[in-house]
Structure formats: structure tokens, C-alpha cells
Structure 1
Amino acid sequence: MSRQPELEERTDAIRRARRVRRIMVQIPYFIVVGIIAVAAVLVLFGFWRKGTLVFSGALLVGAVFRAILPVTRVGLLQVRGRLFDVFAMTTMGLLMLWLASSIAALGTD
């Protein structure tokens, strides 16, 4: 009968560790989402060019995370295969970077 409390404590410790791991795996995703939130705030306050630059930076950071982190650590940044994810995020990030730098600012010629 004395083994039952030990077994329950061990089970609780394993469950807590799994919950912490589920959150820790998502840290790269939360970083990218945080950068996107900053970009959205910039656009909301009228700084659309800076917001677009920050958004493209978020895509490029996500591509770097996806390229260097193992599958067990990348969390929700994994959508398809590694090559496709890195290619898609890099392409979109570079296109948005080009877009933000090539379009003239509103109100100027």
C-alpha cells in the first residue's frame, strides 16, 4: 500500500513535465507570432512600411527557426516538410521585403 502514493507522485510529475514540454516546444512559434503582433500594431498606427518590414522579418525568422530546429522543437511552425516550409516562408519574407522597399511612401512622389 505504501507504493501507491509514490506512484501517484511520479505520475503527477510526469504529467507536469509533459505540460511544460508542450509549452516549451511552442516558444519559436510564440516568438514569430509576437513579431507579427508588433507588425500589426505598426500598421494599425499608420506605419505601414515599417509594419511590412517587421512582418517580413517575422517570416524570415520563422524560416530560420524551421531550418535549424529539429522537428521535435519547432512546434506549430511545422506545416509541411522542412524544405517546403523554409522555401515558402523565405520567399514570402523576401517578397514582402521587396514590396515594402519598392513602393513609394504614401503622400510623396
Structure 2
Amino acid sequence: MTTPRPDRRRMLLTHLPFAVVLLLVAAGAVRIGMYHWRQGAALIGGALLAAAVLRAALADEQAGLLKIRARVIDVLCYSGLGLLILFDALTIIGGPLD
């Protein structure tokens, strides 16, 4: 007896939120690599805040790799770390933010 093949489109859509967050983090890493660390850190903080919003808005089946723990814990961890990184990027003096 063969197992049913999972719907490929649904599988791709499940991982789309994580891919969006990962692309934002990659863009932040590129900016950091170009010596614009404040912009890069702001992008990474924004990516974590986007992960918090996506984790809060999506069902567990749709969250894909953003689902690590319980929804409340995930949202608190993503938003807390995102706000801390964003706070650092916006308050530490000594680097371009424009």
C-alpha cells in the first residue's frame, strides 16, 4: 500500500513565511557586510518582528519552520529579540542609518 503524496503547493506555502523572514535576514547580513551595520541590524530586527506577526497570524499548520514552541512563547521570543536588536540599531551612535 502506498502513502498518498503530499500536496506540493501546500508544502511550499507552508515554508513561505520562513523564506520571507530568511530573505529579510539575508538582506540585513548583506548590509552589515557592506559596513552599514545599523541598517543591517534594523533589517534583522524587522525580520524577527515580521516572524512574530506571521507566527501570531498563521495557524500551526501554516507556520512551517516558524513554529518552534507554543504560539505564545514563539511570539514573545521573536518580538522580544526583534525589539532588542531594533533598539540597539536605533540607539547606538556611530554608524550610518540612512
TM over 0.5: yes
Deviates further, 33-42 or 19-28? 19-28
Q: After TM superposition, list the pairs within 5 Å mapping 1:64-75 onto structure 2.
A: 64-75=53-64
Higher helix share: 1
Q: How far apart, in 2, do the equivalents of 1:102 and 1:20 lie?
A: 42
Give the unaligned 5+ runs of structure 1.
Answer: 1-10
SS of the equivalent of 1:105 reads coil
Q: How far apart, in 2, do the equivalents of 1:73 and 1:81 lie?
A: 14
Which consecutive aligned stretches of 4+ in structure 1 deviate over 6 angstroms post-superposition? none
Q: Which residue of 2 aligns with 1:18?
A: 7
Q: After TM superposition, list the pairs within 5 Å mapping 1:56-71 onto structure 2.
A: 56-71=45-60
Deviation for aligned residue 1:19:
2.4
Q: How far apart, in 2, do the equivalents of 1:18 and 1:87 lie?
A: 32
SS of the equivalent of 1:46 reads coil
Q: How far apart, in 2, do the equivalents of 1:90 and 1:45 lie?
A: 26
1:40-96: per-residue Cα shift (whole Å, max 9, x none)?
000001000000000000000000000010011000000000000000000001101
Give the unaligned 5+ runs of structure 2.
Answer: none
Q: How far apart, in 2, do the equivalents of 1:34 and 1:54 lie?
A: 10
Q: How far apart, in 1, do the equivalents of 2:50 and 2:60 lie?
A: 16
Q: How many corresponding residue pairs?
A: 94
Q: Which residue of 2 aligns with 1:4?
A: none
- Answer 1 or 2: higher relative contact order, Cα 8 Å, separation at least 6: 2
Normalising by structure 2, report the TM-score: 0.89
Across the aligned residues of Structure 1 and Structure 2, the Cα RMSD in angstroms comes to: 1.7
SS of the equivalent of 1:79 reads coil
Deviation for aligned residue 1:20:
2.3
Q: After TM superposition, list the pairs within 5 Å mapping 1:87-98 onto structure 2.
A: 87-98=76-87
Identity among equivalent pairs (%): 37
